[in-house]
Amino acid sequence: MDASPGSLSTRLRRLTDELRMLDRELKSAPPPDASLLLEFRQMLDHTRLTAWTVGELLNVRETQKDPGRMLSFLTSERLRRFGQLAKDLSADIEQHGITWQTHGVEGLFQYVSLLQERLSMLIEKHGSRFEKVSDAGSISQS
């Protein structure tokens, strides 16, 4: 592991220490600006997922497993996670916890529309195989 001052490993150590201090401060200091906290949480979540992905890929390398299977697993995990988020967001909308004025809703709408376009293209390209998969499971509203 490279421990030179500018190395990624050194930066990870410094950031980990800084996050520990920030954790203590968030628990004891007056609340920060809400929009900054939201931006921080989103970036932290994204970085956490990236770090998890890199860790899993390192594990694949060390155990000499098939990287294709690992990438397939990571994609499945993203789909599972997105499905849970979509289900939670749907419940929030039904309970009026999210409105059109909620910060980020318009951007989410655009991303979901883009995703829907890409999924439609995927289904058109592989329609017969998709029908077999969709027969095996269905979306529940629970």
Is residue 56 situated within a structural domain? no
Is residue 72 situated within a structural domain? no
Is residue 32 situated within a structural domain? no
Phi-psi region of 14 (alpha: psi -120 to 50; beta: other; left: phi over 0): alpha
pLDDT of residue 44: 92
Is residue 138 situated within a structural domain? yes
Classify each residue of 100-138 as buried b or exposed e, where b means 16 or more C-beta atoms within 10 Å of its C-beta.
eeeeeeeeeeeeeeeeeeeeeeeeeeeeeeeeeeeeeee
Residue 115, domain extent: 101-142
pLDDT of residue 107: 92
pLDDT of residue 141: 42
What end-to-end distance do the CA atoms of the chain give, in Å? 47
- Block mean pLDDT (10 aa), the chain, length 142: 74 95 94 90 88 83 78 82 88 86 90 93 80 51 42
Is residue 108 situated within a structural domain? yes
Is residue 26 situated within a structural domain? no
Is residue 132 situated within a structural domain? yes
pLDDT of residue 136: 47
Is residue 112 situated within a structural domain? yes
